[in-house]
Amino acid sequence: MDILIWAGVAVSGLGLIGLIASIIKVASAKKAELDDDAMRAVMQKALPLNLGALFTSVIGLMMVILGIFLG
């Protein structure tokens, strides 16, 4: 079950990278001091990235827990 654990770590790491990318995207838009409509557009583009990365991270953590329970 070591393969499942390490695969889960890799998937969770990809999710973490996506979350960091989402944070950087929103933080750079906030520093640019965009108007309300432009900021809303940036947030709408960042939301799917954020949710997808969160989902990926959760799936990876579930794989790790499953690998620990089965191993």
71 pLDDT above the threshold of 90: no
Q: How far apart are the first and last CA of the chain?
A: 5
What would the pLDDT profile of 21-56 be if each residue is shown by its tens digit?
999 999 999 999 889 999 999 999 999 999 999 999
pLDDT at residue 32, rounded to an integer: 92
Q: Rounded CA gap, 64 and 11, in Å?
A: 10
**Total domain count, the chain:** 1
68 pLDDT above the threshold of 90: yes
| Single-letter code of the amino acid located at 4 | L
Cβ atoms of residues 55 and 10 within 8 Å = no
65 pLDDT above the threshold of 90: yes
Which residues span the domain enclosing 56? 2-70
pLDDT at residue 50, rounded to an integer: 96
